[in-house]
Amino acid sequence: MNATTLATIMGICAIPILAAMWFAWRARLRRDREVPLAQHAPAGRIVAEIPRISYISTTPAGSPFERIALPGLAYRGQAAVTIRTDGVTVAVNGEQPVHVAAEDVAGAATSRARVGKAVERDGLALLLWRSGDRELESGFRALTSADQHTFITAIDEIAAHTSDTPRPLQADEPHTTQEDA
């Protein structure tokens, strides 16, 4: 078998696989397009700004390897995060900013792995939040440990000052996810 025949066979095998991946991603985008997000940008006092942080992915709470493809949070990339007293804004480069109202913020946590990234223990900062009836975790990798500490402290500060409704996710409670099991 010569190289041309082998390349042709490999190409013929790869086309259906790539097409299936493309159709599956499009279906995920359609499914997650309906997840409700805050419509207005928070305008309260700025608690913290992190102008450069790596956005990793958003996943359902407790399922760190199942990506949610929310508009504005579907793709990994550099982001700017602004944490205000009335909510959080995440602006991933090339995407529309995503706003999370303070009453939907459940807190912050750390992790070592998310879909698309694995680092040292507690190397990822997590924003724990709700969208409708879904509990979500958005993972970030800060450039410095000071930025990660600022992120976690600011998120916990606004989560503590919101309403007294029960919060199923709290950063100070033991939070076992699949990567810890």
Same domain, 118 and 63: yes
- Tell me the residue type at 172: D
Taking phi first (over 0 means left), then psi (-120 to 50 degrees means alpha), and beta for anything else, what does residue 94 get?
A: left
Give the domain CATH number at 67.
2.30.29.30
Give residue-wise pLDDT tens across range 73-107.
Answer: 888 999 999 999 999 999 999 888 999 998 999 99
Mapped to the 3 state alphabet, what secondary structure does 16-63 carry?
Answer: HHHHHHHHHHHHHHHHHCCCCCECCCCCCCEEEEEEEEEEEEEEECCC
Give residue-wise pLDDT tens across range 10-61.
Answer: 988 898 899 888 888 777 777 777 666 767 788 889 999 999 999 999 998 8
Give residue-wise pLDDT tens across range 98-150.
Answer: 999 989 999 999 998 888 788 888 889 999 999 888 899 999 999 999 999 99
Q: How many domains does the chain divide into?
A: 2
Asked if residue 100 is part of any domain, the answer here is yes
Which pair of structure tokens corresponds to residue 26?
Answer: 């499009």
Same domain, 66 and 12: no
**What is the domain range of residue 104?**
46-160
Same domain, 10 and 56: no
Look at residue 88 in the predicted model and tell me its pLDDT: 93
The answer to whether 44 and 145 have CB atoms below 8 angstroms apart is no
Helices (H) and strands (E) in the chain, counts: 2, 9
Same domain, 105 and 146: yes
Which pair of structure tokens corresponds to residue 34?
Answer: 């309906």
Give residue-wise pLDDT tens across range 150-169.
Answer: 999 999 999 887 644 444 44
The answer to whether 57 and 115 have CB atoms below 8 angstroms apart is yes
Same domain, 13 and 52: no
Secondary structure letter of residue 162 according to DSSP: S
Same domain, 2 and 58: no
Same domain, 131 and 62: yes
